[in-house]
């Protein structure tokens, strides 16, 4: 099949760490141009805005947006209005209503919209889902603790309004949980630790329920040393441990399974499949859980934070 020309918008850390290496592996896409106020890719045509990219390159069929969620709505709408297929880095938008409006606009225009959840593409997520499918869930523990200074150095936007705070990495855990658990997750209560000089939480604890099973969630953006990205599920057949962001699976009575990291190549392969099938994939369950945590959350003061 013919390769698809794609434009990459937002040449920041996530684009350089993940999107560019995935696109450089070959696959279904040719990176034809970029749009970014500050970043450039050697040897690739560059524009400052998505509007300029769209106007200059009518041959580009797809746009991948790697910009922060606040402000991404207008960029995605511009691409959809121009008849381009759109791939959204997670979180897909700053609000649920923005994401829903994008999905409706893509349907009306007849283009593909792909709201990505890269952690669902971790090596052992599908195996975990398969094992849990016929199990009775007793309890779930989600622990997602990482160092904001390591993964988001100097990125003040992440603690500003619309930046999600600790829910930016935390939504990765929720994307896995909504993928592997057989029953819907429901938020019961939340406690949000918000630094006195910031708008978004730097830590959060959330009580949820999956069917009748309790779900305890612990998000922390201030963990140094070893990072923790683990989900534990107690079942009638023993406890499942999904570790390292979904790349390591430990099941009762079995040797641990550890797969390679191929999250972003798998995302781009899925995007190409959706385009060729004339389909969209916009699962907003993780985003709704974050919105519910903010709605039910009790703010608690935390010390001022500086990068």
Answer yes or no: are the C-beta atoms of 183 and 131 closer than 8 Å: no
Our answer to whether residue 13 is catalytic in this structure is no
Q: What tokens appear for 243 in the block?
A: 């570790």
Catalytic residue among 13, 90, 109, 135: 90
Output the CA torsion sign for 100, 275, 184, 65.
negative
**Residues facing 185 on adjacent strands:** 210
Count of helix runs (H) and strand runs (E) in the chain: 10, 15
Phi-psi region of 132 (alpha: psi -120 to 50; beta: other; left: phi over 0): alpha
Smallest CA-to-CA distance from 35 within 20, 47, 52 is with: 47
3-class SS of residue 271: helix
Quote the CA–CA distance of 249 and 5 in Å, as a whole number.
36
Quote the CA–CA distance of 146 and 167 in Å, as a whole number.
11
Quote the CA–CA distance of 124 and 128 in Å, as a whole number.
6
Quote the CA–CA distance of 271 and 277 in Å, as a whole number.
10
Q: What is the DSSP letter of 257?
A: E
Q: What tokens appear for 269 in the block?
A: 């392969």
Answer yes or no: are the C-beta atoms of 1 and 59 closer than 8 Å: no
| DSSP character string of 69-114 | STTHHHHHHHHHHTT-EEEEPSS-SSSHHHHHHHHHHHHHHT--EE
Active-site residues: which are they?
Answer: 90
């Amino acid at each position: 099949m013919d390769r698809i020309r794609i434009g990459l918008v937002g040449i920041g850390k996530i684009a350089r760490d993940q999107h560019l290496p995935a696109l450089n592996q070959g696959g279904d896409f040719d990176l034809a141009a970029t749009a970014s106020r500050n970043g450039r890719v050697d040897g690739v045509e560059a524009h400052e805005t998505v509007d300029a990219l769209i106007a200059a390159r009518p041959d580009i069929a797809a746009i991948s947006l790697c910009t922060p969620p606040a402000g991404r709505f207008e960029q995605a709408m511009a691409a959809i209005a121009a008849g381009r297929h759109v791939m959204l880095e997670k979180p897909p938008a700053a609000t649920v209503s923005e994401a829903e409006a994008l999905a409706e606009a893509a349907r009306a225009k007849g283009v593909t919209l792909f709201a990505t959840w890269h952690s669902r593409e971790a090596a052992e997520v599908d195996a975990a889902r398969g094992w849990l499918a016929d199990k009775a869930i007793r309890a779930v523990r989600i622990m997602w603790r990482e160092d904001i200074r390591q993964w988001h150095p100097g990125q003040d936007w992440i603690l500003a309004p619309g930046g999600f705070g600790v829910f930016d990495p935390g939504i990765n855990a929720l994307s896995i949980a909504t993928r592997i658990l057989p029953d819907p997750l429901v938020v019961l209560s939340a406690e949000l630790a918000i630094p006195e000089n910031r708008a978004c939480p730097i830590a959060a604890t959330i009580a949820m329920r999956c069917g009748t099973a309790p779900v305890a969630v612990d998000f922390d953006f201030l963990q140094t040393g070893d990072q923790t990205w683990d989900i534990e599920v107690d079942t009638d057949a023993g406890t499942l441990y999904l570790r390292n962001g979904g790349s390591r699976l430990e099941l009762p009575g079995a040797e641990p399974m550890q797969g390679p990291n191929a999250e972003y190549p798998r995302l781009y392969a899925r995007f190409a499949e959706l385009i060729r099938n004339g389909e969209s994939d916009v699962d907003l369950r993780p985003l709704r859980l974050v919105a519910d945590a903010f709605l039910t959350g009790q703010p608690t003061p935390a010390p001022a934070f500086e990068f």
